[in-house]
Amino acid sequence: MTFSIAARCPRTGALGVATSSKALSAGGLVPYVKSGVGAIASQSFVNPYLGIDGLDLLAQGLPAERAAERLIEGDPGRELRQLGIVDKEGRVAAYTGERCIDWAGHVSGGGYVCLGNILVGEEVVKRMATAFEHSTEEELPERLMRVLEAGQEAGGDRRGRQSAGIHIMHTEAYPLVDLRVDDHPDPVPELRRVLGVWNTEESAWLRLMPTREDFIPHWQEVLRLRDHVDEELMETQTVKES
């Protein structure tokens, strides 16, 4: 009921999943990503434990293909499942159950898997793969956004449109990007708008965020920013009271 990509950036090692669907909040159930471990898209009558347990298997050192085999072997509902995995080395694996609703299938390449079900046709995942392969000069958030746009332009989910999301992990245990459009008549363009806001307002904050090694990087700059915000609020309050 969804089209998605699981991918790894070969330059930075960032891992991510992007997804869109005619289902509420696909961005909340499809992506499973862990920094330095892997990225998994679990969909089609989704079993979240394929993503949860899959990350555990990857963390134990299993490559993507072996982790996928273990997951599918352990799921009695495998005929209805769809799964895409990219591990920390960029190795990939994919599975589409034989009873997933047509069109259903996947395309794999270097460090990525594009997959979908209930699509208008195979061209959706082919266009997604092409968009990823032709955007190597871009950072992972932009590459994943272009993939969703290509999938939607090719027809996407044949039932319609409702939700979209991008989830990316990089060096920390918290997300680099976690953006979702849960219920919208045109979710992919709306996600593009939200990503633009993230680029303008949020990306500049990232270098000020705590890291595992240093909870207070650029601390003097953080303090100056704190004082600036406080001054602006005081000025706004003064204007309101005058």
**Cα atoms in the 13 Å half-sphere on the side-chain side of 105:** 12
Same domain for 186 and 232? no
CA-atom Rg of the chain in angstroms: 19
Helices 123-133 & 140-153 angle (0-180, nearest 10): 150
Nearest one of 11, 93, 27 to 58, comparing CA atoms: 93
Neighbour-count burial of 127, counting CB atoms closer than 10 A to its CB (0-12 exposed, 13-18 middle, 19+ buried): buried
Per DSSP, the three-state class of 130 is helix
- Overall domain count for the chain: 2
Q: Are 84 and 41 in contact (CB under 8 A)?
A: yes
CATH number where 60 lies: 3.60.20.10
Counting Cα atoms < 13 Å in the Cβ hemisphere of 56 gives: 8
Tell me, yes or no, whether 153 and 232 share the same domain.
no
Which structural domain, as residue segments, surrounds residue 131?
A: 2-206
Query: Is 221 found in the same domain as 126?
Result: no
Do 199 and 216 fall into the same domain?
A: no
70 and 154 co-located in one domain: yes
CA dist 49 and 29 (Å) reads: 10
Domain shared by 219 and 99, yes or no = no
Q: What pTM was computed for the model?
A: 0.94
Mark whether 141 and 233 lie in a shared domain.
no
Co-location of 114 and 230 in the same domain: no
Tell whether 155 and 58 lie within a shared domain.
yes
| Spatial separation of the C-alpha atoms in residues 201 and 196, rounded to whole Å | 9
Average pLDDT for runs of 10 along the chain of length 242: 95 97 96 98 97 98 98 97 98 98 96 97 98 96 98 95 98 96 98 96 86 93 90 83 72
Instruction: Identify whether residues 187 and 214 lie together within a single domain.
Output: no
Same domain, 12 and 111: yes
Q: What is residue 235's predicted lDDT score, i.e. its pLDDT?
A: 83
Which residues are paired to 32 by β-bridges?
Answer: 40
Please check whether residues 128 and 146 belong to one and the same domain: yes
CB 1 within 8 A of CB 23: yes
User: Which residues does residue 85 pair with via DSSP β-bridges, in sequence order?
Assistant: 40, 93
Q: How close are the terminal C-alpha atoms of the chain, in Å?
A: 56
pLDDT confidence of residue 121: 96
